[in-house]
Structure 1
């Protein structure tokens, strides 16, 4: 019996050692992240909606630049919710033209908050207008998005005939501005389902002149979901390569240790139940131009928040 107990302790010691080795290894890799030490740690804006234990929100921000430190508007804003209470993942995309009250600035388009004050002001804008208890963010630029998608082997998407002209125009723009590879530009000439490479996938989520902002944000959610699925299901030995190539291009205020914990939470939840929401509700918003503001999307703040939190907390 004593020999058996000793054997069990040896196995546990080996497993613990492996866990520590892998933990230290990935922690060191994550140190390549651009961690914003001045980022939002203790937000100033209190939220009136209750914080539900087991539900964590991370603001994902895509910026129209080749650097996450550049002063620019946020091209895409999405709330990633890891819900261990209901065992699901939620993706909520926010319209860049949503008319919101930016603290210290006044009513403007949501996309302008990042240009005025970076991720910190964008977080405060989210907390004030949407009453979401979020303080963590991840900012990714266009170049790193291309690297990430290429690392994952591309993203599957369908294109219709009427989308091709706008798609190829934006894809060619992305190729010239953000792509570092030696391959020539690939133009898609007929409708169908394709595995898009990095700069093509960026075009797929950016193009908007061929349809509506809602269709554009739906494409963004679909791509984020597919990327999330691929990262969760990729072979374990591929993570180090992924981290080394992508993380140096990402800025966040989440420290490496907490990021590892969030990663394990995502692995635990899995991808069997990924839910999506477009906000504000396309059927309830009022679209139109305002003097000095341009084209904006106005929304009913009280009912909008109720709808948002009902989705986030179930």
Structure 2
């Protein structure tokens, strides 16, 4: 109630003030002729005659939307396909970048690719490494055998593992990992494999009565306590021990020269095996290799290749050697 009285008092005072200003317009007292009085009268008259300022119209407030604004749905970026595609992903980090897989090479419909592995397994060692890796591709339609050798210390991607030396694949993941390694890095599909250790290699050659190897390059190195020298274009008769020395020495030319000599021995072994003396000794050879030879190749894979093998044995030029070179 006191607040209402206070408001009425203010309004009343304002009305009295307004009436006083209006009455000042009618002052005619001749005594109010001084400068101050004249200025006051002029100010009051000016205020009464001033043009009123029109009210300012403010825009109406925009009504807030009744529905909340819909935020745009973010688009989902596609997940990039890993470079190893259909192969197992690495299980360990690699110090070097993993390359993409090579396109698969198309072979003849009846061609069979066999991976030959020579291991350094010895009795009582408890493990082994693949000292020799070679794919033998036999094509019955062409009547040819192609030898493809791989350096044992070649650094490649091993599917399911990491970047590592190629000769560790067999020990780490068996034939499946080795098969995938060769397919990934070289595009070569492998149908079967065979592995022989040093003892089996020596026994096989001795059972056949030795082999004759034609050297295609000069080499001199020490083996079995003696210096062995071989000259290009010269053929040498070797027993199992001498042949093992020949394929393992690497003082001259390193691994790439070793691969050349390994292919020379395989060609000589292949030719000797398909002679009459070699064929009649196959049962004895099988018994010799039984404990030193491991393979997943059965007779159903080998029998269709016999006519082609005889054809190749009669003409050694049908054996074509290749190797993974330094430029890979």
Bin the TM-score by the shorter chain: 0.5 to 0.7
1:89–1:271: 8 Å Cα contact kept in structure 2? no
For residues 207-256 of structure 1, what are the alpha-carbon distances to aligned partners after superposition, in whole Å with 9 as ceiling and x for unaligned?
11233221111000000000000001133432222222224421111123
Is 1:209 paired with 2:251?
yes
CA separation in 2, counterparts of 1:269 and 1:201? 22
* Map of 1:237 onto structure 2: 280
* Map of 1:99 onto structure 2: 155
CA separation in 1, counterparts of 2:126 and 2:314? 33
Higher percent of residues as strand:
1
2:249–2:258: 8 Å Cα contact kept in structure 1? yes
Change (3 A) 1:228 1:157: closer
Among 200, 203, 210, the alignment partner of 2:242 is 200
CA separation in 1, counterparts of 2:175 and 2:262? 20
Among 121, 135, 138, the alignment partner of 2:177 is 121
Q: CA deviation at 1:137?
A: 0.4
Higher radius of gyration, 1 or 2: 2
2:211–2:272: 8 Å Cα contact kept in structure 1? no
1:95–1:213: 8 Å Cα contact kept in structure 2? yes
Change (3 A) 1:247 1:263: farther
TM-score, normalization: structure 1? Answer: 0.62
* Map of 1:252 onto structure 2: 295
1:78–1:91: 8 Å Cα contact kept in structure 2? yes
Q: Helix, strand or coil for the counterpart of 1:270? A: helix
Give the unaligned 5+ runs of structure 2: 1-85, 89-100
2:104–2:189: 8 Å Cα contact kept in structure 1? no
Q: Helix, strand or coil for the counterpart of 1:134? A: coil
Q: CA deviation at 1:94?
A: 1.0
2:121–2:129: 8 Å Cα contact kept in structure 1? no
Among 91, 102, 111, the alignment partner of 1:55 is 111
Higher percent of residues as helix:
1
- CA RMSD in angstroms comes to 2.9
For residues 166-196 of structure 1, what are the alpha-carbon distances to aligned partners after superposition, in whole Å with 9 as ceiling and x for unaligned?
332xx35xxxxxxxxxxxxxx4677676422
For residues 109-145 of structure 1, what are the alpha-carbon distances to aligned partners after superposition, in whole Å with 9 as ceiling and x for unaligned?
1111122122221111111111112130011111000
* Map of 2:140 onto structure 1: 84
Higher relative CO (Cα under 8 Å, sequence separation at least 6) belongs to: 1
Q: CA deviation at 1:205?
A: 0.2
Give the unaligned 5+ runs of structure 1: 1-42, 173-186, 286-298, 300-314
